[in-house]
Amino acid sequence: GAGVSQSPRYKVTKRGQDVALRCDPISGHVSLYWYRQALGQGPEFLTYFNYEAQQDKSGLPNDRFSAERPEGSISTLTIQRTEQRDSAMYRCASSLDMGYEQYFGPGTRLTVT
Amino acid sequence: SQQGEEDPQALSIQEGENATMNCSYKTSINNLQWYRQNSGRGLVHLILIRSNEREKHSGRLRVTLDTSKKSSSLLITASRAADTASYFCATDVGSMYSGGGADGLTFGKGTHLIIQP
């Protein structure tokens, strides 16, 4: 079946612009997670949802970062007023429910110039 | 903060040999998951082992978990060139232990495995 998909795969934006990254989880998966991965490092947890409810956003770096999942399926991670330090690979994962295997999408490579 | 630490950071072996990677963590966990990543590409899920399990197998992969030592190991038997990748362990603390907090995974920095043909 179809895995987790993310769009766009690559995004180049100028500093100060807002960006929206999209994640489409595996059909039927209740839980959806956002991570950020720097080169040579493991992914770093940002936030997650169960259905449409955002359960934990303790990993979001600051208030420029927000996420939503209004209908409990597709999720959007928004970064406002982007800065160069926001450049990274942003990865989305979904799981059947909390505590199950998390399956990752291909990621969105964000470059802020 | 970093929960999992893989060891070694890098490992180079001959094709056909077995590869063992270790992971240590700091707090109690709900489960521990191992992932593979080729050249910075996608993360592929390998195995999930729960805190009440001690060993799991999947094909050429064998994972052990010792909760008393807060450590896990991943063994790849009869390695192949295609196994060349970075391997990450990731811990799920779970809301049971985090007081309703994060259920996101906490990853280590990974072990870079190179299989020499």
**B43, A43 Cβ separation under 8 angstroms:** yes
pLDDT level of residue B96 (50, 70, 90 thresholds): very low
Task: Please indicate whether, in this complex, the C-beta atoms of A99 and B108 are within 8 angstroms of each other.
Answer: no
Distance, in Å, from the CA atom of A45 to the CA atom of A24, rounded to the nearest integer, reads: 18
Residue B98: predicted pLDDT: 44
- Tokens 């330090």 locate to A85
Convert the pLDDT of each residue in B20-74 to its tens digit.
999 999 989 999 999 999 986 889 999 999 999 999 999 999 999 999 999 999 9
Cα angle vertex A6, ends A5, A10, to 5°?
A: 140
B94 phi and psi, to 5 degrees?
Answer: 80, 150
- Indicate the burial class of B46 (C-beta count within 10 angstroms; 0-12, 13-18, 19 or more): buried
Percentage of chain A exceeding pLDDT 90: 88
Q: Kindly state whether A80 is in contact with chain B, defined as any CB-CB distance less than 8 angstroms.
A: no
Closest Cβ opposite residue B43 in set A31, A39, A104: A104
Task: Please indicate whether, in this complex, the C-beta atoms of B31 and A40 are within 8 angstroms of each other.
Answer: no
pLDDT level of residue B1 (50, 70, 90 thresholds): very low
Whether A38 shows a pLDDT value over 70: the answer reads yes
Cis preceding linkage at A106, omega within 30: no
Q: Kindly state whether B104 is in contact with chain A, defined as any CB-CB distance less than 8 angstroms.
A: yes
Q: Kindly state whether A55 is in contact with chain B, defined as any CB-CB distance less than 8 angstroms.
A: yes
User: Which element (helix H / strand E) includes B97?
Assistant: helix B95-98
User: Which positions in chain A touch B30 (Cβ < 8 Å)?
Assistant: 99
Between chain A and chain B, how many beta carbons pairs sit less than 8 Å apart?
71
Distance, in Å, from the CA atom of A6 to the CA atom of A76, rounded to the nearest integer, reads: 10
- Tokens 């969105």 locate to A108
Residue A51: predicted pLDDT: 94
Q: Kindly state whether B31 is in contact with chain A, defined as any CB-CB distance less than 8 angstroms.
A: yes
Three-class DSSP category at B96? helix
Q: Kindly state whether A42 is in contact with chain B, defined as any CB-CB distance less than 8 angstroms.
A: yes
Residue B93: predicted pLDDT: 81
Residue, of A41 and B61, whose pLDDT is higher? B61
Residue B16: predicted pLDDT: 97
Closest Cβ opposite residue B45 in set A41, A45, A101: A101
Q: Kindly state whether A94 is in contact with chain B, defined as any CB-CB distance less than 8 angstroms.
A: no
Distance, in Å, from the CA atom of B115 to the CA atom of A17, rounded to the nearest integer, reads: 43
Instruction: Identify the closest residue of chain B to A103 by CA–CA distance.
Output: B45
Convert the pLDDT of each residue in A71-107 to its tens digit.
999 999 999 999 999 999 999 999 998 888 999 999 9
**B43, B37 Cβ separation under 8 angstroms:** yes
Count Cα neighbours of B39 within 13 Å in the Cβ-side half-sphere: 1
pLDDT level of residue B95 (50, 70, 90 thresholds): low
